[in-house]
Each structure stands twice: as C-alpha cells, then as structure tokens.
Amino acid sequence: MEKVVRQHLEMEQFFSGFIATSKPRQQVPPNQQDQRAVSEKLSLLEELAEQIRECRKCALGALRTNAVPGEGNPDARIVFVGEAPGADEDAQGRPFVGRAGQLLDRIIEACGLRRGDVYIGNILKCRPPDNRDPRADEIISCLPYLQRQIEVINPEVIVALGAHAARTLLNSTKSIGQLRGHFHEYCAGLGRPPIKVMATYHTAYLLRNYSQENRRRVWEDMKKVLAELGLPIPQAPRR
Ligand code: URA
C-alpha cells in the first residue's frame, strides 16, 4: 500500500509541472472539406466499434463484460497502442482508464497535449482472463480491427506501449529494451507510406518499475515523438 501511495506521489511529480517552451499553436479552424473528412473518419471508427462490440472471433468474446474498441481523436497525429484491456477497461468499455491509464494521461499532458488530441487503442479488444499475455491466435483474430483503425485515422506516429504492442506492430521478436528509443516503420498497406512507430515502456511496466531511469527513458522517447511532429517540447521542471 505504501508503495502505491509513494508511486502516486512520484507520478504526480514526475510527469507534471512541465513548462511549455512556446505558446500552443493556434488551432486553424478546419474548412468544410476537412470537417467532412473528419466526420467520415468518425463514422468509420464508430462502425468498426460496433463490429468489435459484437465480435466473437475468439474465446475472449464470451468472457468480456465490455469490448474496448478504442477512443480519441479520429484525426489524431499520434495513436497510442497498448496490449489489452484490464479489469477497469473491461468494466467501462474504455481504454486505459485504470492506474496505467492515469499514468498515460500524465504523460500525454506532460507532452503539452490532452487525451482528446490523441487516439488510444489496444492490440486486443477484450480482456484476457487474469490479465494474462495475449495469445497468438487472439492477436491474429483481433489485429485486423486495429489495422483498420490505423488505416482510417492515418496518424503520423504510433506509440507502441510495451513489448506486445511493439512486437505485433513491427512483426518483431526483439525485446522492448531493444525496440524502444528509436523510430521504426509500420507497414500501413500496399500503396500507402509507412507510419513511424516509437516503442516505449508500457505504463503498467513503468508503475511496477518506477525508477528515475525508466521514467527518463519514457520521457526521452516522447520527446523524440514531439520533435518528429514539430511540436514544442515542454521543459521538465527543476527538482
Ligand atoms: N493496459 C493496456 O494495455 N491497455 C489498456 O487499455 C489498459 C491497460
């Protein structure tokens, strides 16, 4: 319990108080054509979410309380991809709403963004029992949903949270330690340019291994994402 409280206080401190180095960019009001494109993306994602909520392609479909299709900006520049819903996500039908999700929110805010600016999804849309690792057959059944979500959103960068997301998206067997810290490419399909992928530690791993060093690594990874997108990099507070 003490550890949880300490982590919470550290989390409050580490990924907060970042200072924007420049004014947030003025939002350019979308023109009518852009608005139409965004609402088309939204309805495609909603259609997909309906299919996911009815999916019985693998055994997890019978075990879930709620499927967790994903949520966020249909026109996001960044898509975060986690592993699979946990108990909180299964209960609410929303991704990253438990403790790992609160830390992800902090990281997003430390980047000078809001949760609603990005899109958040998972490799698996249903919770594996006891939060066990996703199985290969489950990933094979479920991955087309995420691939289609990425195709619709067409982000500039995907942030893969943890080994399962990174290995699946990059078709790799390397460890997260080997994959994190630099950009890779996600093949977005024939005739489409690849999408940059930054792999970093999963926030659940970070909570279990909450060292300064691991937090610094995640922040270094996110700074690379911000630089890639030409976004201002908030200054870490002096402590
Ligand atoms: N962990 C994940 O990988 N995804 C979630 O949605 C929540 C926790």
Tell me: pLDDT of 229 over 70.
Answer: yes
**Which atom of ligand 1 has the smallest separation from the CA of 161?**
3
Which pLDDT tens digit goes with each residue over 181-219?
999 999 998 999 999 999 999 999 999 999 999 999 999
Residue 122 CA to ligand 1 centre (angstroms): 7
For 135-146, what is the mean pLDDT?
98
Tell me: pLDDT of 53 over 60.
Answer: yes
Mean pLDDT of the chain: 92
pLDDT of residue 236: 73
Tell me: pLDDT of 86 over 80.
Answer: yes
pLDDT of residue 33: 87
**Annotated domain spans of the chain:** 41-228
For 74-79, what is the mean pLDDT?
98
- Contact of 146 with 122, CB cutoff 8 Å: yes
**Which atom of ligand 1 has the smallest separation from the CA of 68?**
6
Pocket residue to mutate for ligand 1, from 64, 89, 125, most atoms within 8 A of Cβ: 89
Distance CA 166, CA 177 (A): 11
Superfamily of domain 41-228: Uracil-DNA glycosylase-like domain (3.40.470.10)
pLDDT of residue 31: 84
pLDDT of residue 139: 98
Distance CA 207, CA 164 (A): 17
